Amino acid sequence: YKKVRKNGFDGPKPSFPLGNIDEMRKKEKTDSPLGSENVTHNIHSIVFPYFARWRKLHGRVFVYWLGIEPFLYVADPEFLKEMSSGVMAKNWGKPNVFKYDRKSMFGNGLLMLEGDHWVHHRNIIAPALSPANVKVMASSMVESANKMLDQWVNLIASGETTIDVEKEITSTAAEIIAKLAFGINDDNGRKLFEKLRALQVSLFKSNRLVGVPFSKFMNFKQTLESRKIGKEIDSLLLTIITERKRRNSTIEDRHDQPQQDLLGFLLSDSNNNKKKLTELELVDECKTFFFGGHETTALAITWTLLLLALHPEWQNHLREEVKEEIGDGPLDPTMLARLKKMGWVMNEILRLYPSAPNAQRQANEDIRVGQTIIPRGTNIWIDVVGMHHDRTIWGDEVHEFRPERFKEDPNGGSKHRMGYLPFGFGGRICVGRNLAHMEYKTMLTLILRRFSFSPAPNYCHSPTILLSLRPNHGLPLIFQTL
């Protein structure tokens, strides 16, 4: 505490053993009244009320405490630039408290790795997600999306025109990513998919006391339950991997094509020149893919549907663009690059409602920023929502939905290059962003071709953080088939 203070960082006063958690857990009324006329995109003080409060008192860089763990809060793009300019991607740490807390979800997968291990995994995984490889995955996305949309047609025909799209899109995105990561064509794959979803519910159904000494004993039942599901998941994945290896060796004998999913790629000979990942490492990468990949993309699509429902003129622009550039025929993934306006809309949604609302680092060495030193071991919390909603970076129209701000500038007119970080920054930038773009454009194209939609009167705007930035009460929309 003294070391952090000595380095000139101000912040709210912590108490033992909770640090500042008490103030962070204070319930504030954040639900807006029902109805689309009550939707505000000015969401920083809704999703992070404590940060919004502390920022007024301590500025855009300060220290707060999760239990006995100091976190440096950063929402100043210039500070972030200076902080990261001297540190190589592999030398950044990830907060130990989160590694422990999220172990059953991400294990030692790419998201949590550091140093040479991270370099090794990133070099193997990044090529698997290159634009060329991702295109091969398109047909599997179209299949899952169409299955969902056929069900919507049936619902609408039976008179149920209000559909909770958050729930629908999240489970379809989970199915897509499970197919792309490890295949769910057999019983084991499907069982695994169900367990992964159960783990997520178990971990995030209530707030945990991250960073507080002995907190695992306070959340004993929950810790035990997630650990049990975590173990079942690991053993199912191991079975799938062993079975796949056995099949691959017989396929090689017959000169057939191995299955084209992430696991197939990681096990294939194209990685011959690199040291292969062990079975346990493969288990963690499949889990990281599942958890890192489906919800972020599903939420980007969900928030887009809300904004397109609120802005029918943009819904029409995008539908026209789809008609002109793609038409009604089969969806060829190479055509998606032509959907420029859809690209601006995606950028604007990820600015207003970034599905990954923060990025985290840990300083593995003392880092000098101007006259101050960030001491080794300090956790760093980068408030992406805070920066995306900062008037000094975006100007007076900061909270307005204006996709055209991305027409001429990939940074949307942000006054600082580091002020817009939907996929993170530096060498650790999201490795799945090609896949995310393709899935986003594929799903949205299919939806816009078949339906028009408007807000449901019972929609309650309540963006909230549950690892990702999501609508707290789902997103009911009213649909019409076209």
> The tokens of 436 are what?
């995310």
Binding of ligand HEM by 435 (CB under 6 A): yes
CB of 109 to ligand HEM, least distance (A): 7
Alpha-carbon distance 123 to 117, whole Å? 10
Nearer to ligand HEM, 226 or 358 (CB): 358
Binder of ligand HEM out of 104, 215, 296, 347 (CB under 6 A): 296
Nearer to ligand HEM, 212 or 475 (CB): 475
Nearer to ligand HEM, 32 or 434 (CB): 434
Binder of ligand HEM out of 84, 172, 202, 288 (CB under 6 A): 288
Map residues 248-287 to x or -, x wherever contact with ligand HEM holds by CB under 6 A: ----------------------------------------
Task: Tell me how far apart the terminal alpha carbons of the chain are, to the nearest angstrom.
Answer: 61
Alpha-carbon distance 223 to 359, whole Å? 24
Q: Could you tell me how many residues of this chain bind ligand HEM (CB under 6 A)? A: 25
Burial (CB count within 10 angstroms: exposed 0-12, middle 13-18, buried 19+), residue 290:
buried
User: Backbone dihedral region of 377: left (phi > 0), alpha (psi from -120 to 50 degrees) or beta?
Assistant: left
Angle between helices 433-450 and 165-181 (to 10 degrees): 130
Binding of ligand HEM by 423 (CB under 6 A): yes
CB of 422 to ligand HEM, least distance (A): 5
Binding of ligand HEM by 179 (CB under 6 A): no
- The C-alpha angle with vertex 295 and arms to 380 and 449, in degrees rounded to 5, equals 135
Options 183-191, 215-223, 232-240, 291-299: segment touching ligand HEM (CB under 6 A): 291-299
Residue given tokens 């055509």 in the structure block: 335
CB of 163 to ligand HEM, least distance (A): 21
CB of 287 to ligand HEM, least distance (A): 10
Alpha-carbon distance 199 to 211, whole Å? 21
Binder of ligand HEM out of 385, 436, 448, 477 (CB under 6 A): 436
Map residues 79-118 to x or -, x wherever contact with ligand HEM holds by CB under 6 A: -------------------------------xx-------
> The tokens of 329 are what?
């025929």
* Host H or E run for residue 66: strand 61-66
Binding of ligand HEM by 424 (CB under 6 A): yes
Which DSSP string do the residues of 292-307 spell out, in sequence order? Answer: HHHHHHHHHHHHHHHH
Binding of ligand HEM by 431 (CB under 6 A): yes
CB of 155 to ligand HEM, least distance (A): 26
Options 76-84, 204-212, 409-417, 420-428: segment touching ligand HEM (CB under 6 A): 420-428
Q: Which of 399, 472, 470, 444 is nearest to 145 (CA)?
A: 444
CB of 291 to ligand HEM, least distance (A): 9
Binder of ligand HEM out of 14, 93, 189, 293 (CB under 6 A): 293
Nearer to ligand HEM, 14 or 419 (CB): 419
Nearer to ligand HEM, 212 or 380 (CB): 380
Alpha-carbon distance 430 to 120, whole Å? 16
Nearer to ligand HEM, 66 or 128 (CB): 128
Q: Are 193 and 178 in contact (CB under 8 A)?
A: yes
Nearer to ligand HEM, 301 or 322 (CB): 301
Binding of ligand HEM by 432 (CB under 6 A): yes
Options 18-26, 316-324, 329-337, 428-436: segment touching ligand HEM (CB under 6 A): 428-436
What is the identity of the amino acid at 211?
G
Alpha-carbon distance 246 to 267, whole Å? 11
Q: Which of 432, 442, 350 is nearest to 387 (CA)?
A: 350
Q: Are 439 and 176 in contact (CB under 8 A)?
A: yes
Binder of ligand HEM out of 64, 98, 289, 303 (CB under 6 A): 289
Residue 162 main-chain phi, psi, to 5 deg? -95, 120
Q: Are 294 and 286 in contact (CB under 8 A)?
A: no
Alpha-carbon distance 335 to 373, whole Å? 49
Alpha-carbon distance 68 to 98, whole Å? 13
Alpha-carbon distance 136 to 154, whole Å? 30
Binder of ligand HEM out of 107, 333, 403, 422 (CB under 6 A): 422
Binding of ligand HEM by 356 (CB under 6 A): yes
Binder of ligand HEM out of 215, 355, 362, 414 (CB under 6 A): 355
Binding site for ligand HEM (CB under 6 A): 110-111, 122, 288-289, 292-293, 296-297, 300, 350, 355-356, 359, 422-425, 428-432, 435-436
